[in-house]
Amino acid sequence: MSAVVIALIIHVMTLEKLKQIATLKLIGAPDRVIFVQQSLALGTLGLGLILTVKDYFPRRVLLV
């Protein structure tokens, strides 16, 4: 399920940046480089978000 969400996010990011991607392709950047850059950016933002909010959630949930 999370893979589908990540794929959709990358797809939307790609659609929003078509002009920049076209410029990179004109310069000669391969598709793999463009995909890796977007994935690293998304991963870095996700990791930053996780590290920011992790202390606000309990480590254990007690089920009574």
* DSSP string covering 1-64: -HHHHHHHHHHHHHHHTHHHHHHHHHHT--HHHHHHHHHHHHHHHHHHHHHHHGGGS-S-----
Question: How confident is the model over 22-37, as a mean pLDDT?
Answer: 86
Q: pLDDT-derived band of residue 21, with 50, 70 and 90 as boundaries?
A: confident
Mean pLDDT over each residue of the chain, to the nearest integer: 84
- Asked whether residue 29 carries a pLDDT value surpassing 80, the answer given is yes
> Mean pLDDT, to the nearest integer, of 31-59?
84
What's the whole-number mean pLDDT along residues 39-61?
Answer: 85
pLDDT at 27: 92
Q: Output the pTM of the full model.
A: 0.53
